[in-house]
């Protein structure tokens, strides 16, 4: 497995990480726990060292899963988790943010227990909390780093101003935000800023929550517990329009004897050497397919072709429902 370093932090991880949310939440009925433990341990055998979770995934069950699966190999892996929500309130009325310093400390102590570890390698603020000064958030994480409970500080879906303010208090190791061939907004302002500050970038949903693989079409019916069923971008009309992008990726993949997923991941990996995508899966075959993307090299001509064609496709539909969409880029 090729390795990459997240910005100037010195934190080295596998070139592809593993997003673990879907192993216990979000995409329909939760898979069998024993099967997911086996998959996580197989990922380590295959060279994956970077695993992404959050307290809100479940809630809590995803951290429990990783704690049990990775405890025997703890010193071989980098575990990232997140804080930023109040999970005691009814979040159906809104996101329920809480990044108050006292709450951050409580979340970290609870996460450490669930993850069966004495330190969190990378701790993200899941979303910027408009009610708490970023300097106070970064200061709280700085104290946790000084105490040895956290190794590195990260932000998720933060805007440029928030990144600068946080970085001035406690160096930010990585920003995690959605970035893929159908979500290219970070290129305008965020990627140049990360390059300037020496911050790594961790794209989540690098395969468009499965859409860029070609496995999802306008005819796809989602389980009632699959949150994609509620997202504007996954409504039938939007998916029908967005298929143009998938067809482009599939055409390039056919030329390379590769899959659409591999092309989409290889394109991301080619953007910067400090970018580490974290595709999620619950299937060993998909994990192996994704990891093979690290050995797929796209030529300058192919990259230019993908870039030009993808920019010509107008993506239809918002990423999230309004409340969560408004919480990105703050």
Q: Per residue in 64-81, pLDDT tens?
A: 999 999 999 999 999 999
* For residue 237, cis peptide bond before it (omega within 30 degrees of 0): no
Q: Decide: 210 and 242 in contact? Cβ < 8 Å.
A: no
Q: Decide: 75 and 119 in contact? Cβ < 8 Å.
A: no
Q: Is 200 helix (H, G, I), strand (E, B) or coil?
A: strand
Give, for 125, the enclosing helix (H) or strand (E): strand 120-125
Q: What pLDDT score was predicted for residue 138?
A: 98
pLDDT of residue 131 exceeding 90: yes
Catalytic residue among 27, 57, 124, 204: 57
The sign of the CA dihedral 329, 321, 181, 245 is: negative
Quick: pLDDT tens for 187-228.
999 999 999 999 999 999 999 999 999 999 999 999 999 999
pLDDT of residue 272 exceeding 90: yes
Q: What percent of the chain has pLDDT over 90?
A: 94
pLDDT of residue 94 exceeding 80: no
pLDDT of residue 92 exceeding 80: no
Q: What pLDDT score was predicted for residue 206?
A: 98
- Would you list the domain boundaries of the chain? 3-207+273-296
Catalytic site includes residue 57: yes
How large is the average pLDDT for residues 33-47? Answer: 98
Q: How confident is the model at residue 323 (pLDDT cuts 50, 70, 90)?
A: confident
pLDDT of residue 179 exceeding 90: yes
Q: What pLDDT score was predicted for residue 73?
A: 98
Q: What pLDDT score was predicted for residue 227?
A: 94
Q: Decide: 286 and 18 in contact? Cβ < 8 Å.
A: no
Left (φ > 0), alpha (ψ -120 to 50) or beta: where does 179 sit?
A: beta
**Angstrom distance (rounded) from CA 61 to CA 241:** 36
pLDDT of residue 93 exceeding 80: no
Q: Decide: 62 and 24 in contact? Cβ < 8 Å.
A: yes
Q: What percent of the chain has pLDDT over 70?
A: 100
Quick: pLDDT tens for 256-269.
999 999 999 999 99
How large is the average pLDDT for residues 106-110? Answer: 98
Quick: pLDDT tens for 273-310.
999 999 999 999 999 999 999 999 999 999 998 998 89
Q: How confident is the model at residue 127 (pLDDT cuts 50, 70, 90)?
A: very high
Q: What is the CATH number of domain 3-207+273-296?
A: 3.20.20.100
Quick: pLDDT tens for 222-268.
999 999 999 999 999 999 999 999 999 999 999 999 999 999 999 99
Q: Decide: 79 and 108 in contact? Cβ < 8 Å.
A: no
How large is the average pLDDT for residues 25-52? Answer: 97
pLDDT of residue 51 exceeding 80: yes
Mean of pLDDT over the chain: 96
pLDDT of residue 324 exceeding 90: no
The two beta strands, 18-19 and 12-14, are: unpaired
């Amino acid at each position: 497995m090729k390795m990459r370093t997240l910005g100037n932090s010195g934190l080295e991880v596998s070139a592809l990480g593993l997003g673990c949310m879907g192993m216990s939440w979000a995409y329909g009925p939760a898979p069998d726990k024993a099967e997911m433990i086996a998959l996580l341990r197989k990922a380590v055998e295959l060279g994956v060292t970077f695993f992404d979770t959050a307290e809100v995934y479940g809630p809590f069950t995803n951290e429990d899963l990783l704690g049990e699966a990775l405890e025997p190999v703890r010193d071989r892996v980098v575990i990232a988790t997140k804080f930023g929500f109040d999970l005691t309130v009814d979040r159906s009325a809104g996101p329920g943010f809480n990044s108050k310093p006292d709450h951050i400390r409580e979340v970290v102590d609870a996460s450490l227990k669930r993850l069966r570890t004495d330190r969190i390698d990378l701790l993200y603020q899941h979303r910027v909390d408009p009610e708490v000064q970023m300097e106070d958030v970064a200061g709280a994480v700085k104290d946790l780093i000084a105490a040895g409970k956290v190794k590195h500080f990260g932000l998720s879906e933060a805007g440029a101003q928030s990144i600068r303010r946080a970085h001035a208090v406690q160096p930010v190791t990585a920003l995690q935000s959605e970035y893929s061939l159908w979500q290219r907004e970070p290129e305008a302002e965020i990627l140049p800023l990360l390059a300037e500050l020496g911050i790594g970038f961790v794209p989540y949903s690098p395969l468009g929550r499965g859409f860029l693989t070609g496995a999802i079409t306008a005819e796809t019916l989602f389980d009632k517990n699959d949150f994609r069923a509620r997202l504007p971008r996954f409504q039938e009309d939007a998916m029908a329009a967005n298929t143009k992008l998938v067809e482009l990726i599939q055409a390039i993949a056919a030329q390379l004897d590769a899959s659409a997923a591999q092309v989409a991941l290889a394109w991301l990996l080619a953007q910067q050497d400090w970018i580490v995508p974290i595709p999620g899966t619950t299937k060993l075959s998909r994990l192996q397919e994704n990891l093979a993307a690290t050995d797929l090299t796209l030529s300058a001509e192919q990259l230019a072709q993908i870039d030009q064609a993808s920019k010509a496709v107008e993506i239809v539909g918002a990423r999230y429902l309004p409340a969560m969409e408004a919480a990105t880029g703050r």
